[in-house]
């Protein structure tokens, strides 16, 4: 399917429709950001009435459900609190040109860029058994499935590194008249989203059922307001919001939005509609793990405006963004060490390099790597426990706060009839679930995996984390099943296995004052040393460079990749390796 260069779909008779079974009307594309549109319920196709799958298990005794808490490795990570003294001394020393600490999207992106440019003398260290960070994935007999991030909207013109990666992987098939043409298999198939409210499913996520003319007028006013921000440009021609965020404006009119919450912004602008406020908060919980009161107005408006469209399409895969992580990791085959607890990174006393000490969790032995460069691609808050020698200024580290999440994967005998990709339950503390087999082109129903997301949005994330870790698997099982019984009364009978992943620091929280505050800006400005003079060899932060999406204040694929590629290019400059930048020039 061809899209316009800005990611929107072409209109008119030449618009290519997605394949559908013979005899069925072509489905209308319903995307997660469209909140006005067709309001017809899709519940008519729901075989089991208001909440059932239909079929043999309805009303029968449910089979036992197996499962466990599969991660993340909190106990290993928390050993860092004891400092280097809590680990044995190095028993082995090796020399490596570049060490990447952290195998999330930022670390993988750094390795991807270095490997593309012919760099082979590198090693990536990852604490967990697999790389991917919050884009990790799992596999079952039926399908792969995500443990975290599960989609990427069509990349904007500023997201040149994302487009480069997508072209390499065949997600972008070609360019026609400057516009990317995407492989139809990876564009989210219809129906994309639905909302369970008042005992029935309705298309889309915005709660349209029962909306009054006054509420519709308020929603339209909100749409006009966000459209105006998308059209806004500063004196240098920069948009108010962009991806990566560094390409947006730092004009005072824009940055002032970061000093207030989106709840305050809505109140000041006279938005009183409960359904509009619910929808905006749902978006904040989904992207940021925050509420109306704890999301800055800048970050919330970035959600609606940062991609330049009201309604960008999304790309997705059964394993979510793990599909991308897996393929970036493939470029580093043989140069990834998992189960590596990095507990000390320090510049060498003589200068010109750094040492990296890590515990090989499998062997219980400590290894020291001597490197010319280190790309520290872990969340910023960990640096105060790991990075020595003043290489990481932690004076503002308390401003970096992270939202905890729980994710459950429910292995079912088949996906619900009529299910969308994204299935949201109105009034729930969860975000609902996605269906791993949604992209499959097979007509016959079969086993599937439902991925259920639960952000913890309390004002005290540390307390939320402690509460998460105290809960047993049985508690998580009951929480997930109890939530899903509302739309699916026979969910217990359909589930064969239910596993849980606990993400204590799943994503950076863009609370009011953080994105454009001093702590984040200072950390981002010195992360790779460009501001100190990249042309002179790469900067003023010594041999240790920093790369993580929290340096942008937004836990998004585009931001993580940008930070990783930017650090990799700083390494290439320092080593005099010729390369073509993957990043768009900044105005």
Q: Which of 51, 72, 196 is nearest to 499 (CA)?
A: 72
The pLDDT value given to residue 453: 98
pLDDT at 19 over 80: no
The pLDDT value given to residue 444: 61
pLDDT at 179 over 70: yes
Strand order in the sheet with 69-71: 69-71, 495-508, 402-412, 448-455, 432-435, 422-425, 193-197, 200-203
Q: Which of 297, 379, 401, 369 is nearest to 133 (CA)?
A: 379
Contact yes or no for 137/319 (Cβ under 8 A): yes
Residue 484's pLDDT band, with cuts at 50, 70 and 90, is very high
The pLDDT value given to residue 505: 95
4 compared with 173, residue with greater pLDDT: 173
Residue 352's pLDDT band, with cuts at 50, 70 and 90, is confident
- What integer best gives the mean pLDDT of the chain? 87
Span 68-89, average pLDDT: 85
The pLDDT value given to residue 441: 74
pLDDT at 433 over 60: yes
pLDDT at 559 over 60: yes
pLDDT at 392 over 70: no
Residue 122's pLDDT band, with cuts at 50, 70 and 90, is very high
The pLDDT value given to residue 146: 98
The pLDDT value given to residue 62: 59
Contact yes or no for 155/166 (Cβ under 8 A): yes
pLDDT at 242 over 70: yes
Span 191-209, average pLDDT: 95
Residue 77's pLDDT band, with cuts at 50, 70 and 90, is confident
pLDDT at 20 over 60: no
């Amino acid at each position: 399917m061809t899209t316009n260069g800005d990611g929107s779909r072409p209109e008119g008779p030449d618009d290519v429709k997605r394949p559908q079974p013979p005899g069925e009307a072509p489905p209308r594309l319903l995307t997660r950001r469209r909140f006005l549109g067709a309001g017809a319920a899709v519940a008519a196709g729901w075989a089991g009435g208001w909440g059932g799958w239909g079929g043999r298990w309805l009303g029968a005794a449910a089979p036992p459900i197996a499962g466990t808490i599969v991660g993340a490795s909190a106990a290993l990570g928390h050993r860092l609190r004891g400092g280097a003294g809590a680990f044995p001394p190095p028993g082995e020393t090796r020399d490596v040109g570049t060490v990447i600490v952290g195998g999330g999207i930022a670390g993988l992106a750094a390795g991807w860029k270095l490997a593309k440019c012919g760099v082979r003398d590198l090693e990536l260290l990852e604490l967990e058994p697999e790389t991917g960070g919050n884009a990790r994935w799992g596999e079952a007999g039926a399908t792969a499935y995500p443990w975290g991030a599960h989609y990427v909207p069509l990349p904007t013109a500023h997201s040149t590194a994302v487009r480069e990666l997508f072209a390499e992987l065949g997600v972008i098939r070609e360019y026609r008249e400057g516009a990317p043409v995407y492989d139809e298999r990876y564009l989210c198939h219809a129906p994309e989203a639905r909302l369970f409210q008042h005992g029935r499913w309705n298309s889309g996520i915005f709660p349209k059922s029962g909306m009054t003319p006054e509420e519709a007028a308020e929603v339209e006013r909100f749409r006009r307001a966000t459209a105006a921000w998308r059209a806004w440009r500063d004196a240098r021609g920069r948009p108010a919001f962009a991806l990566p965020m560094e390409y947006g404006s730092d004009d005072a009119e824009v940055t002032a939005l970061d000093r207030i919450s989106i709840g305050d912004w809505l109140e000041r602008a006279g938005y009183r509609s409960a359904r509009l406020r619910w929808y905006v908060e749902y978006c904040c919980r989904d992207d940021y793990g925050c509420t109306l009161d704890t999301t800055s107005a800048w970050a919330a408006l970035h959600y609606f405006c940062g991609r330049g469209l009201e309604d960008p399409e999304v790309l997705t895969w059964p394993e979510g963004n793990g599909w991308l992580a897996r393929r970036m990791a493939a470029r580093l085959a043989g140069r990834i060490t998992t189960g590596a607890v990095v507990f000390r990174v320090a510049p060498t006393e003589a200068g010109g390099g750094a040492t990296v000490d890590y515990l090989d969790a499998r062997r219980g032995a400590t290894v020291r790597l001597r490197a010319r460069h280190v790309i520290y691609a872990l969340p910023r808050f960990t640096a105060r426990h790991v990075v020595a020698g003043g290489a990481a200024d932690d004076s503002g580290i308390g401003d970096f706060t992270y939202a905890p999440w729980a994710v459950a994967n429910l292995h079912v005998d088949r996906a619900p009839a009529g299910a969308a990709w994204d299935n949201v339950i109105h009034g729930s503390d969860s975000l609902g679930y996605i269906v791993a087999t949604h992209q499959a082109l097979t007509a016959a129903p079969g086993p599937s995996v439902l991925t259920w997301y639960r952000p913890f949005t309390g004002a005290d994330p540390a307390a939320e984390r402690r509460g998460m870790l105290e809960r047993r698997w049985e508690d998580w099982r009951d929480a997930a099943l109890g939530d899903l019984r509302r739309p699916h009364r026979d969910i217990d009978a359909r589930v064969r296995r239910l596993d849980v992943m606990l993400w204590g620091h799943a994503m950076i929280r863009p609370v009011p004052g953080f994105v454009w505050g001093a702590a984040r800006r200072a950390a981002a400005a010195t992360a790779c040393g460009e501001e100190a003079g990249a042309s002179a060899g790469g900067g003023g932060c010594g041999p240790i460079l920093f790369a993580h999406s929290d340096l942008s204040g937004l836990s998004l694929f585009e931001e993580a990749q940008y930070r990783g590629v930017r650090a990799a290019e700083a390494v290439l400059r320092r080593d005099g390796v010729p390369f073509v930048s993957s990043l768009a020039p900044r105005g």
